Amino acid sequence: MSVLRKKVTFGVIVGTRGFFNSRLAQEGRRQVLARLKAQGHAHVILPKTATSHGAIETRADAKKCAALFRQQRDRIDGVIVVLPNFGDELGVVQTLELAQLDAPVLVQACADTLDAVDVSGRRDAFCGKLSVCSNLYQYGIPFTDTRDHTCDIDSDAFGADLDFFARVCRVVRGLRGARVGAIGARPAAFQTVRFSEKLFQEAGITVVPVDLSEIIGRARQLDDKAATVKKKLAQIRDYGTIPPHVDGQNVLKQAKLSVAIEQWMAENELDASAIQCWTSIQDNYGCATCLSMSLMGEKHLPSACEVDVAGAVSMYALLLASGQVPGFLDWNNNYADEIDKCVCTHCSNFPKSFMGNAVEIAELDVLGETLGRENCFGAVKGHVAPGPMTYFRVSTDDRRGKIKAYLGEGTFTDDPFDMDGGIAVCQVPRLRELLGYMCQHGFEHHVAMTRMHCAAVLQEAVSKYMRWDLYHHG
């Protein structure tokens, strides 16, 4: 199942305080569960009869709720704290302390209305939220705030908060359990893509390596007439325009390579990959890897070039945050003298939906000149369609023993650029400042991008919950 089709599951804590009308807590519980269902999320919550009013107030309540959360640990992606009234700060924080989920937490407080602030109608959640958040800070429990200090559960504002928080939870859960394939060895000339497997493992990201010869061997052993190969051939021919001069045997090689890689990915339960895309595959098998990578990207299995494992992690994070298929690009060329524009390219492995335009599937251009075009079929070519864009890059900093990243938003433009491959003309505010930061902090020339603005989600997930060093070029 695609990671994007899996429901996000929230543990739910409804806070209450005995001085306030219990009806408010009961109504808040009903509303939040209805809201979660309406937005397609699952939940874990104590039965209504387990505590007074179906809410959490006392330490005994907290112990019951924490025990349930621990039991359902593998299901819970994040916790939502709802305060229909002032709430009990100890009930909330003790639940989280005892549960030890280390999951993202969203704190919501219901708004009072001017015509219901008498003893039976007042909420005082405006104040109670400050007390709850103070306790979370004291206990070292990071949390996400709603856009407004107080809001109605059935409001559009809380609906947007819930969608934002679900994306944050999906990024955190996805990264903490990510499995990334490293197919082959990095090109010797590209020390820039070296990474620390140990730092990634500490963050919950597992790297699974395989020698490229094993993948080539698998591909060669596949029968030309196997159902999986025929199906992949049909998919390739429907994917883009193939020039008539391309030999059908080269298309077949690409189909068999795709099947071999995807079978290995499935066997190892991998979420993303990074592939040795030159020059061994061209010399020893006779095609490019780009199309195979592009096809996987369309299936929500992002794939990075040149065994750039940190780049693959960057792509996967963008997929989780945006729900959109990411691309993997080089910061490659200036755009004349326009200081906030540049050209981002690759040969390319851009997925078709990332491109946003029709694509041509042909040979690698630069490598084709030296390795022979007959050995280089499989490049996905075209211009990326204009629209909003978020860029993101993760890197392991071995000198400091940390994972670091940069992040920002920009725009794909419709400016022309007469170069082969996958071309994206990008506009980024204060681009020179960003490039200077990248140079001074040792970041790679590769970057992941997606076709929407989602930097705020990644900032929340990466800096607050993953605790990675993040520069947001905002």
Mean pLDDT of 305-334: 98
CATH 3.40.50.720 fits domain 179-473:
no
Bridge-based pairing state of the strands 360-363 and 377-383: antiparallel
274 closest CA partner among 180, 165, 159, 174: 180
pLDDT score at 310: 98
Structural domain spans, the chain: 9-176, 179-473
Mean pLDDT of 312-318: 98
Please give the Cα distance from 74 to 54 (Å, whole number): 23
Per-residue pLDDT at 330 exceeds 60 = yes
CATH number for region 9-176: 3.40.50.10940
Residue 41 CB: number of other CB atoms within 10 A? 21
Please give the Cα distance from 198 to 187 (Å, whole number): 21
Mean pLDDT of the chain: 96
Bridge-based pairing state of the strands 341-346 and 327-334: antiparallel
Confidence of residue 72 (pLDDT cuts 50, 70, 90): very high
Angle among Cα 358, 360, 366 to the nearest 5 degrees reads 135
Please give the Cα distance from 37 to 83 (Å, whole number): 19
Angle among Cα 183, 457, 386 to the nearest 5 degrees reads 75
Angle among Cα 230, 235, 241 to the nearest 5 degrees reads 120
Per-residue pLDDT at 139 exceeds 80 = yes
Give bridge partners of residue 382 from the DSSP assignment.
422
The CA-to-CA distance between both ends of the chain, in Å, stands at 34
Confidence of residue 99 (pLDDT cuts 50, 70, 90): very high
Residue 452, phi then psi, degrees to nearest 5: -165, 170
- Report the phi/psi class of residue 357: left, alpha or beta, with left for phi > 0 and alpha for psi in -120 to 50: beta
Confidence of residue 474 (pLDDT cuts 50, 70, 90): confident
Quick one: the chain helix, strand, coil %, rounded to 5? 40, 20, 35
Give the CA distances from residue 200 to residues 148, 193, 195, 332, 391, in Å, rounded to whole numbers and listed in that order.
Answer: 35, 14, 9, 27, 20
Mean pLDDT of 124-146: 97
Per-residue pLDDT at 271 exceeds 60 = yes
Q: What is the chain's alpha carbon radius of gyration, rounded to the nearest angstrom?
A: 25
Q: How does pLDDT run across 367-404, given as a tens digit for each residue?
A: 999 999 999 999 999 999 999 999 999 999 999 999 99
Q: How does pLDDT run across 419-450, given as a tens digit for each residue?
A: 999 999 999 999 999 999 999 999 999 999 99
Please give the Cα distance from 45 to 54 (Å, whole number): 9
Please give the Cα distance from 121 to 85 (Å, whole number): 10
Per-residue pLDDT at 1 exceeds 60 = no
- Is the separation of the CB atoms in 205 and 175 below 8 Å? yes
Please give the Cα distance from 164 to 122 (Å, whole number): 29
Contacts of 245 (CB under 8 A, 6+ apart): none
Longest dimension (CA), the chain: 83
Please give the Cα distance from 317 to 306 (Å, whole number): 19
Amino acid identity, position 359: V
In terms of DSSP H, where are the helices of 39-145? 59-71, 89-99, 125-138
Give the CA distances from residue 230 to residues 223, 235, 263, 340, 456, in Å, rounded to whole numbers and listed in that order.
Answer: 10, 9, 15, 46, 43
Buried b (16+ CB within 10 A) or exposed e, 337-376: eeeebbbbbbbbbbbbebbbeebebbbbeebbeebebebb
Buried b (16+ CB within 10 A) or exposed e, 146-171: beeebbebeeeebeebbebbbbbbbb
- Is the separation of the CB atoms in 209 and 182 below 8 Å? yes
12 closest CA partner among 31, 427, 232: 31
Helices 89-99 and 125-138 pack at an angle, to 10 degrees, of 40
| Residue 181 or 53, more confident | 181
pTM for this prediction = 0.97
pLDDT score at 454: 98
Lowest average pLDDT, out of 116-120, 205-209, 282-286, 287-291, goes to: 116-120
Please give the Cα distance from 201 to 182 (Å, whole number): 14
Please give the Cα distance from 331 to 384 (Å, whole number): 14
pLDDT score at 118: 85
